[in-house]
């Protein structure tokens, strides 16, 4: 029997789970303050959703999906990302019939068959958000600002915001042509993967981490020189509003997103704390996704961040460890009933409490209490039952006291 988890997945146990809970709780609070509502979509979807939504020629769809067939013979995919699912859910639930922008966020696992390395897993977890139906450039700036301020809020260090515009279908066609022409002329300098990308998806070559490809790309035409008037104005406005949100950014003309559906604004937030996989958050505008999925002609903008990577970039020192408020130790079998009564009284006041049912010595109970990070230990033996009292030891001050059960519960 294999007890290791599948390659590229990992168990998350205490005390690390505290950090995950903190990251998730702060996300709920932060996104609520910008009036985003949570959405939960299925973990698997029909394969066509991603083929159409993400794009047949993307790496994700071509190489990285976990595909399976069920007993009915239908083919499904463990979701590799969640924007297409959110768009599908809003179409399916007729949410787009309601007027006004739609603002949603999600938290959950995604699955991609990836080459394993630090910060790159096959089951990883994303927090993401989307605004649908708001074409205003201030919405682009707001989405970047929400991501950045959230990362600051959870103590991510050394953050750099990078932005670019990948244009619309119109300007990208001209650019793709020019880029392909330039790269074809210099094909010999490209790595094998990029040679394959050349006709399929030349834009992705801009993102390649191979040193020769990086050097060649530095001489390639840049998309910002090919933007149509509308895309240029939009991009300038996004920068204007980013200044209003007081977000500093760097222009990165080589920044592209891995998925086909992006248009206009593309952005990433990187952390200097990380190595090769330094992007903690990525996103952009996608003006044609909903229509592509047979929904109305509604634009969108959003981002996704990887929880595993964010945790690597965080200063977690101020996240408090779990504390057990009360540990109740039974010295005799008779004490168990008394312990249950007291523990239920304690929990009514929202304090945490665990009972050691099996009669034990005080010495070994104290050892366990320390391991459990207990603040107070209640000791119950025959004397306590007879006199209706509890013996309490404060593990921080060392102070001990005996107090009547009713008084104890009243003072909680
Ligand atoms: P993407 O959906 O590829 O735009 O990625 C958005 C964010 O998700 C990245 O910036 C990473 O933080 C995270 N991410 C993407 N793929 C992985 C992976 N295989 N393992 C861990 N995190 C990932």
Quote the CA–CA distance of 72 and 82 in Å, as a whole number.
25
Cα 404 to ligand 1 centroid, rounded to whole Å: 56
Whole-number pLDDT of residue 258: 66
Which residue has the least CA distance to atom 21 on ligand 1? 120
| Ligand 1: centre distance to CA 70 (Å) | 28
pLDDT, position 1? 79
Buried-state track 375-390, b at ≥16 Cβ within 10 A, e below 16: bbbbbbbeebbeeebb
Q: Which helix (H) or strand (E) holds 343?
A: helix 335-347
Among 371, 148, 390, 356, smallest CA distance to 271 is for: 148
The finding on whether 267 has its CB within 6 A of some atom of ligand 1 is no
State both tokens at 9. Answer: 């997945």
Asked whether 151 lines ligand 1 (CB < 6 A), one says no
Tens of pLDDT along 270-280?
999 888 778 99
What are the residues whose beta carbons fall under 8 Å from the beta carbon of 234, sequence distance 6 or more?
137, 140, 165, 264, 265
Phi-psi region for residue 398, left (φ > 0), alpha (ψ -120 to 50) or beta? left
What is the rounded distance in angstroms from the CA atom of residue 163 to the CA atom of residue 171? 18
Question: What is the DSSP-derived secondary structure letter of residue 117?
Answer: B
pLDDT at 260: 66
Helix ranges (H only) for 96-168 are 137-153
In this predicted structure, what is the pLDDT of residue 277? 79
Express each pLDDT in 322-347 by its tens digit.
899 999 999 999 999 999 999 999 99
Residue 201: the pLDDT is 79
CB 102, CB 290: distance < 8 Å: no
Nearest CA to ligand 1 atom 20: 120
- From 207, 309, 313, the mutation candidate for ligand 1 (largest count of ligand atoms within 8 A of CB) is 309
Give the chain's residues under pLDDT 70.
Answer: 258-260
Q: How far is the C-alpha of 243 from the C-alpha of 21, rounded, in Å?
A: 32
The whole-number pLDDT of residue 330 equals 96
Distance 106 CA to ligand 1 centre (A): 14
Token pair recorded at residue 69: 């067939």
Rounded CA-CA distance 356/349 in Å is 20
Q: Is there an atom of ligand 1 within 6 Å of 280 CB? A: yes
**Which one, of 379, 371, 374, lies nearest residue 329 by Cα?**
379
Edge-to-edge order in the sheet of strand 75-78: 44-46, 75-78, 66-69
Q: Which residues pair with 383 in a beta bridge?
A: none
Are the CB atoms for 133 and 298 separated by under 8 Å? Answer: yes
Phi-psi region of 309 (alpha: psi -120 to 50; beta: other; left: phi over 0): alpha
The residue contributing the CA closest to ligand 1 atom 8 is 306
Peptide linkage before 176 cis (omega within 30 of 0): no
pLDDT at res. 394: 97
84 lines ligand 1 (CB under 6 A): no
Query: Would you state the pLDDT for residue 57?
Result: 76
């Amino acid at each position: 029997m294999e007890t290791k988890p599948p390659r590229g997945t990992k168990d998350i146990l205490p005390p690390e789970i505290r950090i995950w809970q903190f990251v998730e709780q702060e996300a709920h609070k932060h996104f609520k303050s910008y009036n985003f509502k949570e959405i939960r979509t299925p973990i698997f979807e029909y394969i066509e959703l991603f083929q159409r939504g993400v794009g047949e020629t993307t790496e994700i769809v071509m190489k990285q999906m976990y595909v399976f067939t069920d007993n009915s013979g239908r083919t499904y995919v463990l979701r590799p990302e969640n924007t297409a699912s959110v768009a599908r859910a809003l179409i399916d639930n007729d949410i787009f019939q309601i007027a006004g922008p739609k603002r949603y966020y999600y938290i959950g696992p995604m699955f991609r068959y990836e080459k394993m390395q630090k910060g790159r897993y096959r089951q990883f977890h994303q927090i993401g958000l989307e605004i649908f139906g708001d074409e205003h450039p201030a919405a682009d700036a707001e989405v970047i600002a929400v991501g950045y301020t959230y990362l600051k809020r959870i103590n991510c260090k050394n953050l750099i915001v990078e932005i670019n515009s990948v244009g619309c279908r119109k300007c990208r066609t001209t650019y793709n042509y020019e880029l392909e022409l330039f790269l074809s002329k210099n094909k010999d300098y490209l790595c094998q993967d990029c040679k394959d990308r050349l006709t399929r998806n030349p834009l992705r070559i801009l993102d390649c981490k191979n040193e020769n490809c990086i050097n060649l790309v530095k001489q390639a035409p840049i998309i910002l020189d090919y933007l149509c008037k509308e895309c240029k104005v939009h991009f300038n406005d996004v920068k204007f509003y980013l200044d209003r949100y007081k977000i500093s950014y760097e222009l990165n003309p080589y920044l592209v997103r891995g998925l086909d559906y992006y248009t206009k604004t593309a952005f990433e937030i990187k952390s200097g704390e990380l190595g090769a996989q330094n992007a903690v958050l990525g996103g952009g505008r996608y003006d044609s996704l909903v229509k592509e999925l047979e929904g109305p002609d509604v634009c969108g903008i959003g981002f996704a961040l990887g929880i595993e990577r964010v945790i690597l970039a965080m200063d977690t020192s101020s996240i408090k460890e779990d504390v057990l408020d009360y540990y109740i130790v039974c010295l005799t079998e008779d004490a168990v009933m008394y312990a249950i009564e007291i523990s239920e009284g304690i929990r009514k006041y929202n304090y945490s409490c665990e009972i050691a049912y099996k009669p034990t010595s005080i010495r070994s109970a104290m050892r366990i209490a320390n391991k459990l990070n207990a603040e107070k230990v209640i000791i119950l033996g025959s004397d306590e039952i007879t006199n209706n009292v509890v013996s309490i030891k404060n593990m921080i001050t060392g102070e001990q006291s005996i107090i009547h059960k009713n008084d104890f519960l009243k003072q909680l």
